[in-house]
Structure 1
Amino acid sequence: MTGKTILRGQVLSFVRTPFDGAPEDAARIDEAVLIDGSHIAAVGPLAELRAAVPGAVEIDHGAHVILAGFVDAHVHYPQTAMIASWGKRLIDWLNTYTFPEERKFADPAYAAEIASRYLDLTAAHGTTTMCSFCTIHPESVEAFFTQAQARGQRVVAGKTCMDRNAPEFLRDTAQSAYDQSRALLEKWHGVGRISYAITPRFSPTSTPEQLEAMGALWAEHPDCLMQTHLSEQTDEIAWVKGLFPEARDYLDTYEQHGLLGGRGLYGHAIHLEERERDRLREHGAGLIHCPTSNTFIGSGLFDMAGLMAEGQRIGLATDTGGGSSFSMLRTMAAAYEIGQLRGVPLHAAQLIWLATQGSARALRMDHLIGNIAAGMEADLVVLDLASTPAIAQRSAMAEDLWEALFPTIMMGDDRAIAEVWIGGRRV
């Protein structure tokens, strides 16, 4: 036994973005992938990999499709237990459901329980990396990183910062937000597969002083990501304009305080003004599309086609628990539906790319995760394209792989996840 493993199946990797040129030509299909330790050693014909590594363990997945693990670019792991809470607009939804649940994360034991549950649920759906908001409590960050570290999982997260327009039990201050964020960053950032994200929740819940403090911290640690929310709902935008009357637009409330940059992640970004689009593109910032959340909370329809045509950097996300599913398959289906409503349906190749390489690119991690190639980290998901009778009968009629994949994107769930590998380990 060599300690090396060959996975056989339809190994799908991307050679370019499917948003440039014919989507169906953006990927290649190989017979097998060789895992060596925590990384991918080679991809190619089965005979070649066998010859290169005699005695390697082989796992035959038949007609299953082997992909890079899904990358979820915007989540709130503390909202796991309250996912699918009924029917309110963003601000009421936060006050009714989110803030009371987030209060519980001052308890390290509760934070650890939910972090473990969240990582188990998402792994079952094929998600191998995510970028998460925590709560204002440092305990929530410690719990999430500790659980991820035990799994050898690449994750990004940060302490959520709020010093106004939230219940007193969920408010910090500009100084405590800076001090606690810096301490967590210095402890965890770059340890194993863990990265820290500076995390002001959004402009309405941070004073200018707190935004300034977060901007200063980011300037001191420019290799970190910064995550927040932007232009999710029209009433939210009106609220921001009332709170920041001197700002040119919503994005300017971040820009004025040093919170606009190429390693910035801006969740939702639905109702953008022309100046905001221009500035985001100039910086190469990440715009994170959260389709199940946008429909569930009634936020609006993300302009995927227009923003892609401009050259924006776009990732895909469940936005748990404003989003109504832990599944990136369900998220891809919702992105397709929103594209249809905007008159530009997304091809299966584009959906898979967004959930893997697109999100990894938004996180500035596409050299590590999000594709299958020699040297990449071995985070993989194996998809069964006949996981239910309804999916099986449709995929059996398919004339190519993309047509066979599409029913699983539209109707698949955790039953379609045949196997998951994280850091070279089957989970």
Structure 2
Amino acid sequence: MKNTIIYLFALFFSQLFTFSWSQTYTTKQIDSVLNMPYDDIVANTSKSLQVFNKVLSDAKKQNYKLGVANSYDKMALCYFYQNKYDLQAKYIFMAIDYFNQLKQYNKVASLYGSYGYHLKRRNLDSGILYMQKGLKIGEKYNSEYELRAIYDNYGVLKEMKKEYDSASLFYNKSLTLKEKANDKIGIPYSLNKIGMLQLTLKQFAKAKQNLDKAYQIRLEIDDKIGIAENLNFYGYYYFETKDHQKSIEYFNKALDYSKTYNYNYLTQDNYQKLSELYELNSDYKTALDNFKNYTAYKDSISNINLRIKQAELDTEFDTERKEKEILEQKADLAVKNTYIVIIVSLLILSIIVGYFMLKNQKMKTLQLQKENELKDALLKIETQNRLQEQRLQISRDLHDNIGAQLTFIISSVDSLKYAFADGNPKLEDKLNNISSFTKETIYELRDTI
């Protein structure tokens, strides 16, 4: 195992030494780089931008307009995930300009649509306008593949605006195109959007029918993530129909799937809804357990950007690996001259890296332990505060009831004095004593809350 690791490090550095940024990519190599998988791009956006800048420069040198257009598109995606929205817009529109020159109107439609969809949380009205541009261009040039996503996403924006009829119309348009193309992966997404919209509108029978169709397709194609989503949707369905027991059952099923397949956003949502349901059922211990799990996953997801940033600092191999695959035929030029020096250097580097990794892991473990202790303490305090509020409410209720009874006694004693004490000093003194004692009791009672 140790020899294998050393070999991999040596191979990496040999590629690093043999590769020169002064070399120019061919158009075929440019296309290969630009076809980098989406997950690889967003996993390390800083390194991805370095690669795409290199590709952009080489494409411009060769007047390869398609390469330039796609480079701008990929760079816009990187800037979006870095929350640099001004740069995202700049590169999106430069990409659109090039695709217009190339008369690739399907890409123009897609870019307007995706940019509008990305705006939905920041400027919903602008997002709708850009999506309308993409929609019109897609319909004009009959770009059915791109329109599937545009219709679906435009429906989402309409639903956010509470324009439910329009949302339903575009969800169904997307579904029609997907069914025409027999898109087994895409069809369930549209069916679920329609079903959840119907659930919002309290159209329970129709909602159940569409959710069932989507679930059946996902079972047939064995889409594990899709199955997890649909089980979660069933949990919401039974929650809305007031069948809390079945809702708990489906959220637990969804939880098993989402944890198995590392769907953390869905896991967080499942724990949150289970906590809410168990609280409604007065099962406070289970509700608290689920709430703690929800909090843990929420914190984990909130730190995704931090972990990605750390990965960008700790992992420098990703882009070079892609470049190595593209230039594999040039891999052996400098291996003989540097192999021995590299191995010695890597042995030293491995020891240093191992030491710091072990030290870092210990620090992380200690920090995580302290954070968990703090969370438990905060949850305990929150529970105690709730109990104290309940005690205060009970005290106020008792205060009000006792006060009312004492006031009634005073009134009754005054009535007795009026009716019977006239000419009977002894009785009048006793009634006065009772009245005074009762009034003093009321004053003391007022000071207790």
- Normalised by the size of structure 2, how large is the TM-score? 0.27
Q: Which has the higher contact order (CA 8 A, sep 6+)?
A: 1
Name the structure where strand makes up a greater proportion of residues. 1
Name the structure where helix makes up a greater proportion of residues. 2
Larger radius of gyration: 2
- Normalised by the size of structure 1, how large is the TM-score? 0.28
